[in-house]
Amino acid sequence: MESKRERELIIIGAGPAGMTAAVYAARKQLDTLVITKDVGGQALWSSDIQNYLGFTFITGAELVKRFEEHVRSFGVAVEYSSVTKVSSVDDSFEVVTEDNRRFLARALIVSSGKSPRTLNVPGEKEFLGRGVAYCATCDAPLFAGKNVAVVGGGNSGLDAAVQLMRICPHVYIIEVADQLRGDEAIQNTVLRADNVTVLTGTTVKEIRGDSFVRSVVVQDVHTNNIRELDVEGVFVEIGLSPNSDFVKDVVKLNKWREIPVDCGARTGVPGLFAAGDVTDVPQKQIICAAGDGAKAALGAYSYLVRRPVPTDWLKSQ
């Protein structure tokens, strides 16, 4: 196995929080490594961003491109891989990736975001990539001219429906609660559309098809009546789960598996910081994640300059 020298700082994840942290760490001239499976995180899923200061309108993909260009301008090292485990090793942190590579750092920022929750119904896994999708911003154009279903009546589900109703003959919104849960403004947009049918108090039982999705079976939660909807796409928009399992042995997670942090992005573990949607910060917004990433990097810098530098680390540089 290749031996990796110890870094001053490792950042896990390259969404808005991780990329902002990387820029701030670079400006503080910290020896930094970013480990991430992709770049952009959930920001890539946003079609219309109108609340990021400096841009009256920008797409998620465009904003992420600018973030990435900014990070690359500082020459920050990036390893593309998923992290499977983080451990405390003396006064440092060991990060293990899916290909069993091991990296050491004196400080760590976890900014790994969240991943989509699944329905866990028959047909969901079988038709993934063949009609089942989790990102309307990424995949909506593939379903132009086709009837589709969106599962979830929160903001993410309604945002997906708005994107899809512009290009699809008909969109079904399937929500298990008795009413939609998204913001009133986006609800009004959806409810005014002639090609949208809202099915509240309804749950998905099965996704059916042949080589591609052909229908979704739903059930009324009050009457138990079963109905089969003819659709060629199912977008699952029922929320997100924190990508935090790899760090659960180092820091205690809350009941939602988020990483608790204070106002300075500090966890209860010295040298371990967290930022963005993987934390318990209630505002899950791009601009909030970016700000938290900045705080985490500045906190990591303060932590590093105030602790003694190990002799072995100096010799390795």
Q: Catalytic residue positions?
A: 135, 138-139
Residue with tokens 């050491």: 104
Q: Which residues pair with 259 in a beta bridge?
A: 279
Task: For helices 184-191 and 155-165, give the axis angle rounded to 10 degrees.
Answer: 30
CB within 8 Å of 128: residues ≥ 6 apart: none
Point out which residues pair with 174 in neighbouring strands: 151, 199
Residues 41, 11: contact at Cβ < 8 Å? no
The DSSP string of 85-108 is EEEEETTEEEEEETT--EEEEEEE
Residue with tokens 């390795």: 316
Q: Percent helix, strand, coil in the chain (nearest 5)? A: 30, 30, 40
Report the SS3 class of residue 127: coil
Q: Considering Cα of 128, then 132, then 135, then 139, what sign does the dihedral take?
A: positive
Quote the distance between the C-alpha of residue 65 and its chain's center. 16
Give yes or no for a contact between 219 and 203, defined as CB atoms under 8 angstroms apart. yes
Q: How far apart are CA 18 and CA 286, in angstroms?
A: 11
